[in-house]
A and B are shown apart, each in its own frame.
Chain A
Amino acid sequence: MKTILLVDDEYSIVEVLAHLLEEEGYTVVTASNGQDALDRAAEAIPGLVITDLMMPLMSGADLIRALKKDPALRRVPIILISSAPLAGPRKLGWTELIAKPFDFEELLQAVRRVLPQGGE
């Protein structure tokens, strides 16, 4: 079963999204910033990273750059969640972009496109 690495500094969003994704059959690992996410990814390569853009310590943009530099992680698909203007982040290398505010159904559809086999 592929794991989703969910990265957001807002605890309640991580908590709720993790529950909702788990109810859809996915295994979810959570992190509260970019550095925390890299540490989790080093422990086990995730099948998908879902990350917020603006976070303390290491932003979502820096996280994506770090993932793209790492040969073991560069092919991991990334869904970026952002309310920031899109021109800059577009070059980063994300797979799907979700603009805030978003609803879970929209995110779930993006997850299903990236992981078409579902949680398997």
Chain B
Amino acid sequence: MKGKREGPQPIARVPTGVGQLDAILRGGFLKGGSYIVSGAPGTGKTIFGNQACFRHAAAGGTALYVTLLAESHGRMLSHISDMTFFDPEMVGKAIHYVSGYEALRSEGLKGLFTLIRKMIKRYGATLLVVDGIVRAEGVASSSEEFKIFIHELNVVLSLLGCTAVLLTNALAESNSYAARTMVDGLLQIDDVMDGVRAVRQLVVQKFRGSDHLRGAHFFEIGSEGMRIYARVEAMLATPTNLPRATNGRSSFGVRTLDEMTGGGVAEGTATLVLGSSGTGKTILGMHFLSEGARRKEPGLYFGFFESPARFLKKGDDLGLQLSKYAGNGLLEVIWQPTGGLIMDALAERLFEAVRRLKVKRLVVDGISGFEESVVRPERLGLFLTSVTNELRGLGVTTLVTEEMRELFGSEVEIPVSGVSGLAENIVLVRQLEIVSELKRAIAVMKTRENAHDDRLRELKITDKGLEIGDPFESEEAVLTGGGMPRPQPPDGRPESTKRGR
């Protein structure tokens, strides 16, 4: 007598091959399961189904694509032939296209069921896509008959080790309920308007037998097919790695600023550089990256305003040798033009580069690039917190710039709510009018794990980059942008220089 296994085993996963959907589903579909992908016409269901088939075949599986629509397979394939996942060599070998239209029309659900069962077995299919299951629903005489069809399909899938994706428009209410109770998972895809912008989103409404990332996840359709991005604050709710304790400091590469911060900021922390336009925030980032590269610490500039060529030239003109460091792999510049981007896609590109280059220093220039790509503004604070926590876990020292809206004024306001909490360190740079003269000033407002010099100092942009001068000691209220000379005592010395003497 032979006992083959002791108790139920975990069910194997079948990767979907569709962007980060596998991360959303914690590993992919469950082998032998059935999943409805529902969405209005034009939302990308057919691309989803075909992409899943080609990726499955590329990974060594065999796919069966059953259409219940009048559209020919040739026409459908011509629509996806420009997409990078498409490989004509797979068609007829590892991916088999079968029309179920005639079997359904002449023999109803029973005929379709028999066809699917025989085709799965004939081809040894491990992935089944049924495109247009709404047609099958249409020929069912009752919701009970449709339910039985789905149930028997589930039995076949389980016995033959085949995973099914059923593509459909919205089903009729009664049949939809029947189908929803019978399948292992429900994925809803929609094209929704966000102001004048159209965005595509996916929601996993049901996923039997496994945890998954709930809520909306956004996706794009392009030359790579469908790219789904897991919502960052859901995926990184817990950082992949915990931050390590370290005594190391990351020098800014600006001598006086390093002195003000006790040798730079703590390694693995985030620093917010806050300032109005033209105050040298990007140049400070260049110093920071150049100094890191000089110490053989790989750096990444992730910006929205400067193209790579202009960024490198600007740094070279200041003597920071950025092109040299870019050439020997110690610096990479990624430019993301704003507008139309998905915030989660930006995060994916950022982390891809951080992991690939083993980045130690990162400059994100600036937060407004993320702000302009956000579909739900209320996400931004939590999104940025999740991103910076993950960066801390990866040991990356991050410098993030953020533009203040007011050039001058009596208030220091951080434009994006929740941002101040994400950074251990805050550096303020701003323009000042002092006795009818325009000057720049820099101050360290906050540092973690270290004391700092919190005096406001003059900041100059020279042909060698940033230079920081002495503290403003003879003016009052310079931080508010309107410095006035302090009243001079009778002996001519400023009041501040007399204190403590």
A interface residues (Cβ-Cβ under 8 A, vs B): 12-13, 15-17, 19-20, 23, 83, 85-86, 90, 93-107
Contacts and interface: CB of A to CB of B under 8 A. Distances in A.
Contacts of A101: 8, 11, 32, 158
B327 interface: no
Interface string B342-370: 00000000000000000000000000000
Contacts of A85: 7
A94 B1 contact: yes
5 contacts: A12-B155, A16-B155, A16-B156, A20-B121, A20-B160
Given A23-B121, A99-B8, A100-B8, A16 B3 contact: no
Contacts of B159: 13, 16-17, 20, 102-104, 107
A15 B152 contact: yes
Given A12-B152, A103-B159, A104-B161, 9 more contacts: A13-B155, A13-B159, A23-B118, A95-B2, A96-B4, A99-B4, A99-B7, A100-B8, A101-B32
Nearest to A103: B161
B182 to A, nearest CB: 11
B155 A97 contact: no
B155 A86 contact: no
Contacts of A104: 159-161
Nearest to B148: A12
B121 A86 contact: no
Interface of B: 1-9, 11, 32, 117-118, 121, 148, 151-152, 155-156, 158-161
Contacts of B161: 103-105
A103 B32 CA distance: 9
A8 B368 CA distance: 63
Q: Which 9 A-B pairs have the closest CB atoms?
A: A103-B161, A104-B159, A99-B5, A12-B152, A12-B155, A16-B155, A97-B3, A16-B156, A13-B155
Contact of A103 (B7, B148, B160): B160
A97 B2 contact: yes
A31 to B, nearest CB: 18
Contacts of A102: 159
A96 B160 contact: no
A15 B148 CA distance: 12
Nearest to A19: B117
Contacts of A17: 159
Contacts of B8: 83, 99-101
Contacts of A100: 8
Among B5, B8, B158, B159, the one with the most A-chain Cβ atoms within 10 Å of its Cβ is: B159
A103 to B, nearest CB: 4
Nearest to B162: A103
Contacts of B4: 96-99, 106
Contact of A12 (B5, B151, B160): B151
B110 to A, nearest CB: 11
A59 to B, nearest CB: 19
Contact of A86 (B7, B9, B32, B156): B7
Contacts of A13: 155, 159
Contact of B1 (A90, A98, A107): A90
A98 B247 CA distance: 58
A60 to B, nearest CB: 15
A85 B7 CA distance: 6
B499 to A, nearest CB: 80
Given A94-B1, A101-B158, A104-B160, A16 B117 contact: yes
Contacts of A106: 4
A19 B3 CA distance: 26
A29 B9 CA distance: 30
A101 B159 CA distance: 8
B108 to A, nearest CB: 16
B6 A86 contact: yes
Contacts of A83: 8
B144 to A, nearest CB: 13
Contacts of B160: 20, 103-105
Contacts of A19: 117
